[in-house]
Amino acid sequence: MAEAHQAVGFQFTVRPDGVDLKLSQEVIKNIYLSGVTAWKKKAILFKNGVLAGVYPASPSSWLIVVIAMMSSLYIRIDPSLGMIDSIKDNLPYRDCLSAQTRAVLSGILFATGLWLFLIYLLRYTLKVLLSYHGWIFESHGKMSTSTKVWLSLVKMFSGRRPLLYSFQASLPRLPVPSVDDTICRYLESIHPLLDNEQYNQMKILANDFRDSIAAQLQRYLMLKSWWATNYVSDWWEEYIYLRSRSPIMVNNNFYMMDLLYVTPTHRQAARAGNVVHAMLQYRRKLERGEHAPLRALGIVPMCSTQMERMFNTTRIPGIETDIVQHLTDRKHLVVYHKGRFFQLWLYTGGRHLLPSELETQFQRILNDTSEPQPGELKLAALTAGNRVLWARTRIKYFSQGVNKVSLDAIESAAFFLTLDEEPQGYDSTKTNSLDSYAKSLLHGKCYDRWFDKSFTLISYPNGKMGINVEHSWADAPVVGHMWEYVLATDCFHLGYTEEGHCKGDVNKALPHPSRLQWQFPKECQEVIKTSYVIAKQIADDVDLHSYLFTEFGKGLIKKCRTSPDAFIQLALQLAQFRDQGLFCLTYESSMTRMFRDGRTETVRSCTSEAVAFVRAMEDTSATKAQRLALFRKAADKHQHMCRLAMKGPGIDRHLFCLYIMSKHLGVDSPFLKKVLSEPWKLSTSQTPQQQLNLVDINKFPKYVGSGGGFGPVADDGYGVSYIIVGENLITFHISSKFSSPDTDSYRFGRHIQKAMLDIQALFHPENDKMVGNGEHVQLVNGKKHL
């Protein structure tokens, strides 16, 4: 095998007259190029680190300050008010230096100190400016003079061409709300869900908490907020995600889909080659900090901390708590196909493998006919089952030998790739549903995704792709940023040949991907089977319905002068009431990334205003004008709640941290215990689209994503993810459990469909309807008239 010979770096033969050493020129060349690449990378990282470290100033500004200082000294003007003379008199080894040298050194030192002070002043000024959030509460399309001035100042102090982490030191800290405000907003949020007796009991518990231990817990929480960069995020990651002992498949992980209408190539290996190469390009820019930071309104920066652990990251199971292991500079990928694990090197000669080279490697894996080793087929089911069982199995059977080497290869890989065997995707000629595709991405066969990896990339035989994401390290918008970049790069920059292969020459001299080796005793194989049974029960219970809402989209909703998110949330409340006959505690995720290390806050969407609107919609005596007025009031309230959550003074993260603090202090609070035990029977989230604006969807309307979804949060509730795609499309991903007699995802989808249409009808005269493209249609004698 030529590849095996080329993989040998050197050969030697022992002779009577000495040792005959033969070096492979190809390997020596690769070693040299790898070294050059490594040093180039270090130089770029150093340069970008300096640029981010002195931002919003620049290294060249130091030279300007020094020249200005030396020029002023030359004309005998001392702007330092005598400080330069003081530095000159206290220089070490000053007796060995000439007077002119001491003067120059003192001037440079003072200029450098002044420059650093100005950088700190600029950053502090920017942090003060970014602490203002009044602009969030202004009506869409209307901007006050003060906000315009504020935006101009932010833009001025933000500098030019910021790198990904340039703004991190200037982002404000998440503020701790007052206990009184949080309790007031909490009681307001539960009022429509409780009868008078239940509400009064909860009010008594809240007042007892406020009058007893609340002040003590708040003082400690304030202390933490001064010490930590974010008083919520570390506890949120630890207690909500890592300390949970239930399986993370379905319960924790979420998924994202491929492009909806377009499949660039139907060759599985080629599509995987382009996508993996695009991911490596994204990772290189991420490691160097070269991505542009996300900015609201194109000006207000968002925190980029979550992006650091996107690659080379694995959730490691523990008995009591898991940990997130993040490594640097990983150069291999682990691929799963038909029950076998392969290790594939991503670099050659100090560079990434080209798409055509990756396609060759993936095709080799697809063509491999070897059988799985005993226990290998369903090995990944360990990551889908009980966390304690997986942690104990890992300690017992993966701590030494080939099992440890192979597990280390998986956990240290850049990410995990599954070459799936069954085609998936959207086919409008067969169904308007994405159910099978969604279930495949969410849990697959329960053993063909490594659920502990930061994400598993999934490649299907028909060229479709998708990802399954472990949730503890980041939230969906962060992964969506990467996924948008990858899909745009794949389709518009890398491309394919007419035959559907990756562009570029085929390099058959690359060493073949290597099989990972395993040795599992019978007892370990039984544990793997047990984990699979647990995971299979969870997966079989998932009732997942994903579909396209094509009647109208963001374009029409905005013409109704209302927020698309508020419109959809009120439709969900109407659908929930029609489906269940009652209202429930509703969770909507809102981001807090305008603050340092910010993640999410909860918007409690089931407000008193929303309840009043829904009741009016179900009241046959209510007029359209009354319903519309209540809708406007409910939509305004929802927008206000979203803005409050983004600004910092939410409800749930504050109460959560007070609860954790009470546990640390060993004090009991019936109020906090009651709040934290309330079930979210309707959990919702909007997945953002077009974060990067790499593709003009008006010019390329077919190049839109399908969004993604997650599993049900409550045993008898619904999980709903929705994606507003362009102007005329919304996709819904609805999950529940078959084991619940009260829920049905398909039925709930139909209720959402009707609720959306019923609300839209409020904005137009009787007998009027809006068709999918936004045209106004009036029904006259049963016929359409445009």
- Burial zone of 422 (CB within 10 Å; 0-12 exposed, 13-18 middle, 19+ buried): exposed
Cβ contact 69:173 at 8 Å = no
**Cis peptide bond prior to 56, omega within 30° of 0:** yes
Beta strands in 231-339 (DSSP E): 254-257, 295-296, 300-301, 313-316, 323-326, 332-337
**Which residue type sits at 515?**
R
Comparing C-alpha atoms, which of 647, 651, 573 is closest to residue 187? 651
Q: d(Cα 721, Cα 730) in Å, to the nearest integer? A: 10
DSSP-assigned letters across all residues of 283-298: HHHHHTT-SPPPEETT
Crossing angle of helices 564-580/608-618, nearest 10°?
A: 60
Cα–Cα separations (whole angstroms), residue 340 to 204, 369, 431, 449? 60, 10, 33, 12
Q: Which residue has the tokens 């002195």?
A: 54
Structure tokens at 783: 């016929």
Strands 542-549, 340-345: pairing is unpaired
Q: d(Cα 756, Cα 572) in Å, to the nearest integer? A: 8
Structure tokens at 636: 């305004």
Q: d(Cα 117, Cα 11) in Å, to the nearest integer? A: 59
* Strand partners for 574: none
Comparing C-alpha atoms, which of 749, 751, 704 is closest to residue 724? 704
DSSP-assigned letters across all residues of 670-731: HHHHHHHT---SEEEEEPP--SS--S-TTTSTT--B--EEE--SSTTSEEEEEEEETTTEEE
Known active-site residue 471: yes
- Which residues make Cβ contacts (< 8 Å) with residue 324, sequence separation at least 6? 237, 242, 309, 313, 314, 315, 316, 472, 473
Give Rg (Cα) of the chain: 30
Cβ contact 578:755 at 8 Å = yes
Q: d(Cα 301, Cα 170) in Å, to the nearest integer? A: 9
Question: Dihedral through CA 308, CA 310, CA 316, CA 318, nearest 10?
Answer: 60
Cβ contact 374:340 at 8 Å = no
Cβ contact 57:119 at 8 Å = yes
**Which residue type sits at 714?**
A
| Max intra-chain CA distance, the chain | 108
Crossing angle of helices 196-211/179-190, nearest 10°?
A: 170
Q: Which residue has the tokens 């708040």?
A: 218
Q: d(Cα 288, Cα 307) in Å, to the nearest integer? A: 12
- Which residues make Cβ contacts (< 8 Å) with residue 465, sequence separation at least 6? 258, 271, 272, 275, 457, 458, 459
Alpha helices in 541-623 (DSSP H): 554-559, 564-580, 608-618
Which position among 291, 352, 471, 654 bears the catalytic label?
471
Q: d(Cα 710, Cα 721) in Å, to the nearest integer? A: 7
Comparing C-alpha atoms, which of 53, 50, 3 is closest to residue 26? 3
Which amino acids are annotated catalytic?
A: 471
